[in-house]
Chains A and B, each alone.
Chain A
Amino acid sequence: MKSRLAAIALNTFREAVRDRVLYNLIIFALLLVASAPLFSQISIGIERLVLVNLGLSSISLFGVIIAIFIGIGLVSKEIEKKTLYTILSRPVRRWEFVFGKYVGLMVTLVVNAALMTLGFYVALLLTERKLTGDDGRLLVAVYFIILELLIVTAITLLFSSFSTPIFSAIFAFAIFVIGTFGEDLRNFAAMGHGLTKWATTGAAYLLPNFSSLNVISQVVHGQPISSSLILFNTVYALLYSGAATAAAVFIFEHRDLK
């Protein structure tokens, strides 16, 4: 089982690499490094603030875009092109296929985030001439971005298991946007009454809450991130992505591959 999962995950990663998905990183890293000297000129005094905001937001946005645009095709493309026929006629269980694809895309996203982070730190070093402890704390924000991608990928995979690629992309992106304002949705739910309160509270807890995973504004100002938040976010992301992946598996297990 492990070798089949690893083979499917590796093949998913290889597809992303050979489809030149990761080329964006090189462009991103080069642009960021090349533009680093400019920050110190155009934003005197707040160059670090601009660079960290821009760098971390880019890592998050690029990751989400890759997660959605590869994620929507993870299952549907294999059905459409019938490559799945030659996989599932082997001793591969359907859940192994779905989970293997998920792991493969997550590996791609982690490699993507790691390389972008490397480029980001080079730019930071060029701007500040040296790295400090505050800069090390930025890694917590990167870790939270990876947790965010864990959830976004699982949601995209869920839609991909029963919907067309275009609708999957629209739904997944809509949920990402709503989830970004998850905290506002919860506040809004708290203010409501009656049926509205129930509906908005239900939606607020059903939809992912990405607000608590976004700590860019805290880390940029050197504010520490509590270990309890790290633990909470880790457990939340694992549970949410686990539930979404399990739902995707359940749907896929019962689906006719026409």
Chain B
Amino acid sequence: MHAIEIQGLSKDYRVGFFKKQSRLGLKGLTLAVEAGETFGFLGPNGAGKTTTLKLLMGLIFPTAGSAKILGKDWLDPDVKRKIGFLPEQPYFYDYLSAAELLDYYAQLSGVASAGRRQRILDLLARVGLGDVGKLHLRKFSKGMLQRVGIAQAIVHDPEVVFLDEPMSGLDPLGRHEVRELIQGLKDEGKTIFFSTHILSDAEALCDRVAVIHKGELRGVGVVNDLRSSVGDKTEVIWQGVQALSAVSGLLTESHVTGDTVRATVVSANLDSLLEKLRQQRAHLVSVTPLQGTLEEYFLSKTTEREAVRV
């Protein structure tokens, strides 16, 4: 059973007052996330990431399509007991303390009163707010609020956690702390679905990622496979700088250090290069396939349609 199963989910926004116009938010998204998987939902700003999360949380209604979470209809109250959600740049009731806020959310999620207080204290300690649990949220920094946000998303020990841009607007230290918290949830075996446009976070945390752009899914897969799909290059190192002039037409780039040449070549030219190096009696040192980065994959998926149009 998939933890999350999205089938043809679409959303058109109606904008304008008198003359209503349709603006595409999401176009026929079909996606499945396995239980226990950490899934990154990547896309530039305005790509449809938040729209997808709002649809899954029942905050907006789809124009078409449906979804299942933990095998049930996504709007089923039973499902909502088992999911947690952190909105983008969350704002909480600033007249409450962190402990009061978590208690309120725990009640709404149906957490039994017995042991609730202890659970909240433990949770505050876990997110590093154990000593400020009684402080009103209006006095919290952005990083602290984000940690409260993660705490509220898991206060009822959900099976699936949805995080919308959990690292956005945080300084490097804050990002590191949030990353550690997400890693902790992953280690507990929770299914995590998080949207981000910070690719290094996705690369560090995700088992699989999907790329969305202009409301359309552009690609999905295991991070390493996606990187390989754009890593169509090989690094070749040899000794014998005299061979360089004979093979330079085959190379994409080259660097010379003394008698050693370090060059990259597209895979299609690799055999020809090796043959010519043998003919030139160059001494081959190493041949290493290069992996692309997630950024290269992301850029290839978010710019390819534009390139076709041009």
Contacts and interface: CB of A to CB of B under 8 A. Distances in A.
Interface string B78-118: 10110111010011110110000000110111100000000
B87 A14 contact: no
A15 B96 CA distance: 8
Contacts of A15: 93, 95
Interface string B151-189: 010001000001000000000000000000000000000
Given A3-B107, A7-B108, A89 B59 contact: yes
Contacts, number: 76
Given A18-B95, A82-B90, A85-B59, A91 B107 contact: no
B105 A89 contact: no
Contacts of A254: 61
Contacts of A92: 80, 108
A86 B90 contact: yes
A14 B92 CA distance: 14
B88 to A, nearest CB: 8
B81 A91 contact: yes
B57 interface: yes
A7 B109 CA distance: 11
Nearest to B95: A18
Contacts of A87: 108
A81 interface: yes
A240 to B, nearest CB: 29
A221 interface: no
B58 interface: yes
A103 B104 CA distance: 16
A258 interface: yes
Given A7-B108, A256-B60, A257-B60, A91 B93 contact: no
B77 interface: yes
A182 B87 CA distance: 46
Contacts of A91: 77-78, 80-81, 108-110
- The range of chain A's interface size is 20 to 34
Contact of B57 (A7, A8, A89): A89
B54 interface: yes
B60 A89 contact: no
A89 B80 contact: yes
Contacts of A8: 108
Nearest to B60: A256
B215 to A, nearest CB: 15
Interface in A77-117: 81-93
A4 B104 CA distance: 9
A89 B85 contact: yes
Given A18-B95, A19-B95, A83-B91, A88 B58 contact: yes
Contacts of B152: 86
Interface string B10-22: 0001000000000
A201 interface: no
Contact of A90 (B54, B95, B108, B162): B108
Given A256-B61, A258-B60, A90 B93 contact: no
A180 interface: no
Nearest to A20: B95
A14 B90 contact: no
A197 to B, nearest CB: 33
Interface in A208-258: 254, 256-258
B17 to A, nearest CB: 13
27 contacts: A3-B110, A4-B107, A4-B110, A7-B107, A7-B108, A19-B95, A81-B91, A82-B87, A82-B90, A85-B54, A85-B57, A85-B85, A85-B90, A86-B90, A86-B152, A88-B57, A89-B59, A89-B162, A90-B80, A90-B81, A90-B108, A91-B108, A91-B110, A92-B108, A93-B77, A256-B61, A257-B59
Interface of B: 13, 54, 57-61, 77-78, 80-81, 83-85, 87, 90-93, 95-96, 104-105, 107-110, 152, 156, 162
Closest 4 interchain pairs by CB? A89-B85, A18-B95, A91-B77, A256-B60
